[in-house]
């Protein structure tokens, strides 16, 4: 007789969530959606430059966070996919502008020559501007089966995240801090919560808004995302010291050469690692009430502190 109440060997071992397969599957979905999102047209050069950076790979962490959070809150992948693509367009435009000679002056990004190295500074600026504007058009026109009030909330949140209260503000303070030796952990935290954390938080929260999540759920997911955002940046600073050019797909050790204030320069490597781990533990605690449904977001949080690229 077959006993249906008995646990299989797999269940007995309490098999861990397979993040690699999850990331691979979702990265593939995002790649296909991104490829379809921008159809080449005239003038050919600008579409080519926009697609060059948008389709250059990368972890696709922001779109995946948006999709995972929408799913956790009872929504579908298709409800969140246009926003997921827009998040990646915004992220990519910020990388293109960040790499310009007037900013960080980087030659490599995602293992390829930076946009301005291939197309020139003028086209790279315009490719960034094009991606930014198109991101908003894309969310507004392509989102289906989502009530308009939710969509407007998402569009407003995206706008706030990009502007002076988000990425732009963080980048300005970062530029002003260059070459200064008196940068405190508080200033550094302001820079990173704006430059990096804001877009990660918006990725998670916008997925939840699209799914119609309650204020209470949004507050928990926002806290989760703020914590992983800061941990992500601390790990980024650590990797700049410990990883290779090949692992990073860009020049390693740039912060040290530029004598830039980073978490390891303020706290040392060991304390930085410890702080990142504490933030990740706090992030995971926010999701306890969702049980196994939160496995993807929990595993992504763990990945952030253990990644080597």
Of 76 and 255, the one with the shorter C-beta distance to ligand GRG is 255
Q: Is 108 helix (H, G, I), strand (E, B) or coil?
A: strand
The dihedrals phi and psi of 112, each to the nearest 5 degrees, come to -125, 165
Determine the Cα–Cα distance for residues 112 and 49; give it in Å rounded to an integer: 13
CA distance linking residue 34 with residue 55, whole number of Å: 7
Pick the closest to residue 61 from 297, 286, 224 (CA basis). 297
| Residue in this structure with the two tokens 């706008």, named with its chain if needed | 159
Nearer to ligand GRG, 146 or 198 (CB): 198
Q: Is the CA virtual torsion 47, 49, 52, 55 positive or negative?
A: negative
Pick the closer one to ligand GRG by CB: 32 or 103: 103
- Where do we find the tokens 């699209």? 210
Under the phi-then-psi rule, with left for phi > 0, alpha for psi from -120 to 50, and beta for the rest, what region is 191?
Answer: alpha
CB of 98 to ligand GRG, least distance (A): 4
* Pick from 205, 260, 199: nearest CA to 229: 199
Footprint on this chain of ligand GRG (rule: CB under 6 A): 58-59, 61, 94-95, 97-98, 103, 110, 132, 162, 167-168, 171, 195-196, 236
Closer to ligand GRG at the Cβ: 172 or 266?
Answer: 172
Report, in Å, the least distance between residue 196 CB and ligand GRG: 4
Place of tokens 């990945």: 303
Nearest approach in angstroms of CB 162 to ligand GRG is: 5
Rounded least distance, CB 8 to ligand GRG, Å? 37
**Strand locations in 119-239, DSSP E?**
none
C-beta of 213 vs 297, nearer to ligand GRG:
297
Nearer to ligand GRG, 59 or 254 (CB): 59
DSSP state of 253: T
Residue 160 and residue 193 in contact, taking contact as beta carbons nearer than 8 Å: no
Report the residue number, 213 or 235, with the smaller CB distance to ligand GRG.
235
Q: How near is the Cβ of 82 to ligand GRG at its closest, in Å?
A: 19
Q: Least separation, in Å, of the C-beta of 13 and ligand GRG?
A: 32
First to last CA, the chain: 51
CB of residue 210 to ligand GRG, shortest distance in Å:
21
Q: Which residue is nearest to ligand GRG (CB)?
A: 58
């Amino acid at each position: 007789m077959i006993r249906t109440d008995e646990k299989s060997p797999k269940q007995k071992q309490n098999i861990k969530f397979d993040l690699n397969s999850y990331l691979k599957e979702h990265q593939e979905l995002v790649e296909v959606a991104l490829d379809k999102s921008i159809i080449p047209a005239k003038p050919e050069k600008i579409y080519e430059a926009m697609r060059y950076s948008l389709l250059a790979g990368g972890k696709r962490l922001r779109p995946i966070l948006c999709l995972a959070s929408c799913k956790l809150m009872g929504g579908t992948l298709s409800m969140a996919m246009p926003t997921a693509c827009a998040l990646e367009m915004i992220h990519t435009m910020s990388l293109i502008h960040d790499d310009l000679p007037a900013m960080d002056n980087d030659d490599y990004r995602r293992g390829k020559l930076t946009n301005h190295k291939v197309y020139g500074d003028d086209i790279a600026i315009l490719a960034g501007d094009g991606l930014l504007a198109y991101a908003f058009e894309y969310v507004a026109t392509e989102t289906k089966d989502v009530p308009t009030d939710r969509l407007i909330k998402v569009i407003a949140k995206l706008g706030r995240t990009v502007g002076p209260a988000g990425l732009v503000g963080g980048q300005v303070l970062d530029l002003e801090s260059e070459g200064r030796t008196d940068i405190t952990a508080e200033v550094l935290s302001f820079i990173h919560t704006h430059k990096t954390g804001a877009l990660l938080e918006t990725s998670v929260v916008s997925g939840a808004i699209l799914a119609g999540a309650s204020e209470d759920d949004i507050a928990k997911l926002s806290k989760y995302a703020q914590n992983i955002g800061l941990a992500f940046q601390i790990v980024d600073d650590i990797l700049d010291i410990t990883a290779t050019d090949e692992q990073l797909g860009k020049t390693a050790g740039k912060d040290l050469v530029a004598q830039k204030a980073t978490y390891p320069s303020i706290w040392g490597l060991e304390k930085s690692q410890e702080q990142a781990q504490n933030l990740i533990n706090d992030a995971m605690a926010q999701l306890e009430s969702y049980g196994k449904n939160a496995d993807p977001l929990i595993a992504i949080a763990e990945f952030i502190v253990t990644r080597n690229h």
